[in-house]
Amino acid sequence: MFLTSVKKPLFSILLVTLSLLLAVILLSSSSPFSKSYMSSISPMSTTRSEKSDLWSVRRIVDWRPCKWWLQVDPTALPAESNGYIRVDCYGGLNQMRRDLCDGVGVARLLNGTLVLPKFEVAAYWNESSGFADVFDVDYFIQQMNGFVKVVKDLPTELVSKEPFRVDCSKRKGQFDYIESVLPSLLEHHYISITPAMSQRRDRYPLYAKAALCEACYNALRLTKALEKKASELLQAIPKPFLSLHLRFEPDMVAYSQCEYSGLSIASMKAIEAAQGDRKPWTGEAARVWRNRGKCPLTPNETAFILQALSIPTSTNIYLAAGDGLMEIEGLTSIYTNVFTKSRLLSGEDFTNMHGNTKAALDYYVSINSDSYMATYFGNMDKMVAAMRTFKGLFKTLFLSRRAFAEFTSKGLKGKELMEALWRTHRDDFVVGKGLGLPDCFCEFKL
Ligand SMILES: *[C@@H]1O[C@H](CO)[C@@H](O)[C@H](O)[C@H]1NC(C)=O
Ligand SMILES: *[C@@H]1O[C@H](CO)[C@@H](O)[C@H](O)[C@H]1NC(C)=O
Ligand SMILES: *[C@@H]1O[C@H](CO)[C@@H](O)[C@H](O)[C@H]1NC(C)=O
């Protein structure tokens, strides 16, 4: 069966890891399980070798796809479908993808049949790329086999109909899809939905959760054309490399309403232009806001944290970032091997690429990089962290804006600040904290 053949490699990796682990336990005189979490890592804080970077720290928790997802019974789909469902997705690439995943879960919950989703592109992308322009349709259908039924074409009696639109966004609080959406599906036979974030996925039966997980993390692959471009980019980056999602564009900074000092006049102008009515917080409010971790890290602060984590300044860094990144010298003056896609892909086919397809390139590189770090916690970062986890790539970390703000507001500087940042991020890394992994992933003690 196709499904099991896909899952076998992952399963055998798991088995190999398990047996290795067992060997280590048997060979070592003291069992790692007898030590407490703190005592097992505390030596690191006192005798930290200059040469070992964050990734070399021994982890005690690993996250992996949950068993109930990978071991779902593919023959258990209900024989009868309650109707056809189209998931309508809006916003940036990874936001649309998140909504698609939710929609697939809903479709399975309602025992519906999916038609291909509608990907509508937000105004700021200024383009129109639908689902089929970004993702491989046939692969998606094939991978969803056994999880939920997906069709390319509607039956003839429905093909000329527009779906009945069920607005989920207006339903506040926790609402039950079976109660509020199933009646419309049964009545109209063809509906469209945009999932609401307030839904209670934790109450889903496992088969609906599994459909969501499969759709999101094992059924989406870029189109052949896009993947070709993306792998061309991946090949051009010197190895090994860190993919760094650095968010310090004018719109980001304006949106954050944070105050910054020491920015260039050009940056300040760009931020002001993006601000509109949103004025930054000032005085005490600005300080509180910053300490809550609301302020994007500057490239300069990012470079400082990377150094605190003993990431060598000679590291190859791919900048997964949009156009208009500000103050980038703050990073490139310290980390000198920084690569961007506009530097590596210069042809006309690249200059003609739009927002969503460029975002797809960053996504592809980031799920295939040796390590990934993000200075923000957006949809792309969550998606990349989950995909990397799915692929068994554990060198993934979100830099803590909050820790940086707290420590600096307490007056920590230089070496002291570096030590504090090291400890915070090490502790996160050791237990895989802060990766924002969805329900699809389960904790596994190492
Ligand atoms: C969907 O089908 C399952 C059996 O596969 C059944 O237990 C469940 O009640 C059905 N749900 C709906 C909403 O029809
Ligand atoms: C959007 O695209 C059109 C044509 O491709 C172009 O004329 C227009 O300037 C673009 N708008 C923005 C805001 O980029
Ligand atoms: C950037 O960071 C360095 C320390 O890493 C500091 O000396 C310098 O003043 C910073 N520059 C700006 C513009 O903040």
* Residue range(s) defining the domain that contains residue 169: 84-218
DSSP 35: S
Same domain, 311 and 414: yes
Same domain, 439 and 327: yes
Residue 442: half-sphere exposure toward Cβ, Cα within 13 Å = 8
pLDDT at 130 (0 to 100): 82
Q: Whose CA is nearest to atom 13 of ligand 1?
A: 110
Same domain, 165 and 185: yes
Q: Whose CA is nearest to atom 2 of ligand 3?
A: 300
Tokens 């760009």 correspond to what residue? 270
Does residue 191 sit within a domain?
A: yes
List beta partners, residue 391: none
**CA distance linking residue 92 with residue 121, whole number of Å:** 7
* Ligand with an atom nearest the CA of residue 208: 1
Does residue 14 sit within a domain?
A: no
The pTM of the whole model exceeds 0.95: no
Same domain, 312 and 440: yes
Best mutation site among 300, 404, 418 for ligand 3 pocket (most ligand atoms within 8 Å of CB): 300
**Residues with Cβ within 8 Å of residue 393, at least 6 apart in sequence:** 367, 372
Q: Give the distance (Å) from ligand 2 centre to CA of residue 352.
A: 12
List beta partners, residue 191: 85, 164
Does residue 50 sit within a domain?
A: no
Does residue 359 sit within a domain?
A: yes
Same domain, 381 and 239: yes
Same domain, 151 and 230: no
Does residue 316 sit within a domain?
A: yes
**How far out from the chain centre does Cα 77 lie?**
29
Helices and strands in the chain: count of H runs, count of E runs: 21, 13
Same domain, 101 and 234: no
SS (H, E, C) 390-419: HCCCCCEEECCHHHHHHHHHCCCCHHHHHH
Same domain, 304 and 172: no
Exposure string of 227-246, with b = 16+ CB inside 10 Å and e = fewer, is: bebbeebbeebeeebbbbbb
Q: Pick the last residue of a domain from 176, 196, 218.
A: 218
* Ligand with an atom nearest the CA of residue 121: 2
Does residue 141 sit within a domain?
A: yes
Same domain, 232 and 151: no
Measured from the Cα of 263, ligand 3's closest atom is 13
Number of domains within the chain = 2
pLDDT at 276 (0 to 100): 86
DSSP per-residue string spanning 287-300 = HHHHHTT-SPPPHH
Same domain, 175 and 241: no
List, chain by chain if needed, residues with CB within 6 Å of any ligand 3 atom.
Answer: 262, 300, 304, 330
Residues of the chain with pLDDT under 70: 1-51, 74-75, 121-129, 169-175, 197-202, 349
Same domain, 310 and 330: yes
pLDDT at 47 (0 to 100): 45
Q: Give the distance (Å) from ligand 1 centre to CA of residue 178.
A: 10
Q: Whose CA is nearest to atom 6 of ligand 3?
A: 300
Does residue 418 sit within a domain?
A: yes
Domain at 430, CATH number: 3.40.50
Q: Whose CA is nearest to atom 3 of ligand 1?
A: 78
Q: Could you read off the pLDDT of 403-413 as tens digits, one per residue?
A: 999 999 999 99
pLDDT at 436 (0 to 100): 80
Give the count of beta carbons closer than 10 Å to the beta carbon of residue 273.
11
Does residue 127 sit within a domain?
A: yes
Q: Are strands 61-65 and 441-445 parallel, antiparallel or unpaired?
A: antiparallel
Same domain, 307 and 437: yes
Q: Could you read off the pLDDT of 318-368 as tens digits, one per residue?
A: 999 877 899 999 999 999 999 999 888 877 767 777 777 888 999 999 999
